[in-house]
């Protein structure tokens, strides 16, 4: 897989040593997140909306209510920027200036389009469930035509992309080396908790095998990366 090209909108200018253009690395950051932020402009006013996303090859998808002003505006062919960020650590230096954080972030750019074809929309909506929970669709009640009609799906071909990563310890200045205060990194993780069953679920209903990636105590980004790998392999 070739690197993404360094374009005027995707080139990392601030701390370019942290820039990542490797396609596989950018995809890994996108796939190991459940939420993204989509930035766009409506009538000269900028907006940035959080939403669930998923990726298939070089296409990003997100969805919402058919009544959403955001999705209607994006679906007309609006240029958008989709961003994903993982916070991995709090970097504590011996000066306020050198405090930082460890992170992985990816920005992808393209033109949004609304999926109008009902069969394509149905396939996309099934794909998000299988991307997050491989095999779950086979056990669920089928979506109704009204549910599909009430949902909008937006797709965006990735036209440009880049990532930025900081994964290092403190960058103290030499003069701070003997200052008597603790310095280092406090790791930060989003970890999966114990499942909480629905209050109306029958007591003998077993926890399904397709939720195996979501093990209590496992990092969420690791679980999502695992589900994406299963999805791409067709293990449904």
39-69 pLDDT per residue, tens = 999 889 999 999 999 999 999 999 888 777 7
Can you list the alpha helix ranges (DSSP code H) found in 13-170?
23-31, 69-74, 118-132, 145-149
Q: What is the pTM of this model?
A: 0.90
Residue 158 pLDDT exceeds 60 = yes
| CA dihedral angle for residue 11, residue 187, residue 31, residue 143, rounded to 10 degrees | -140
| CATH code for residues 16-89+100-168+188-233 | 2.30.110.10
* Residue keyed to tokens 């929309």: 121
Q: Are 54 and 225 in contact (CB under 8 A)?
A: no
Q: Are 1 and 192 in contact (CB under 8 A)?
A: no
Rg of the chain over Cα atoms, rounded to whole angstroms, equals: 21
159-190 pLDDT tens trace: 999 999 999 999 888 888 889 999 999 999 99
Question: What is the rounded CA–CA span in Å between residue 32 and residue 98?
Answer: 28
List b or e across 148-166, with b for residues whose CB sees 16 or more CB atoms inside 10 angstroms. Answer: beebbbbbbebbbbbbbbb
Q: What is the mean pLDDT of residues 98-118?
A: 94
Distance of CA 80 to the CA centre of its chain: 15
Q: Which residue has the higher pLDDT, 185 or 232?
A: 185
Length of the chain: 236
Instruction: Report the pLDDT value the prediction gives residue 118, as an integer from 0 to 100.
Output: 86
DSSP line for 176-191 = GTT-SS--EEEE---B
């Amino acid at each position: 897989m070739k690197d993404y090209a360094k374009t005027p909108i995707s080139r990392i200018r601030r701390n370019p040593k942290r820039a990542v253009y490797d396609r596989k690395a950018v995809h890994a950051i996108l796939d190991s997140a459940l939420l993204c932020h989509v930035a766009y402009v409506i009538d000269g006013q900028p907006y940035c909306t959080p939403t669930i996303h998923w990726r298939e090859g070089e296409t990003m998808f997100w969805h919402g209510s058919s009544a959403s002003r955001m999705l209607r505006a994006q679906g007309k062919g609006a240029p958008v920027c989709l961003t994903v960020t993982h916070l991995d650590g709090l970097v504590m230096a011996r000066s306020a200036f050198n405090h930082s954080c460890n992170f992985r972030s990816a920005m992808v750019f393209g033109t949004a389009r609304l999926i109008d074809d009902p069969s394509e929309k149905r396939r996309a909506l099934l794909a998000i469930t299988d991307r997050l929970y491989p095999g779950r669709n086979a056990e669920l009640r089928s979506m109704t035509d009204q549910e599909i009609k009430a949902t909008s799906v937006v797709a965006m071909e990735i036209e440009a992309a880049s990532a930025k990563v900081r994964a290092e310890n403190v960058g103290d200045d030499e003069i701070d080396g003997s200052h008597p205060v603790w310095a280092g990194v406090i790791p930060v993780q989003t970890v999966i908790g114990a499942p909480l069953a629905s209050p109306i679920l029958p007591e003998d209903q077993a926890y399904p095998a397709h939720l195996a990636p979501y093990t209590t105590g496992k990092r969420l980004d690791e679980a999502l990366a695992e589900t994406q790998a299963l999805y791409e392999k067709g293990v449904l």
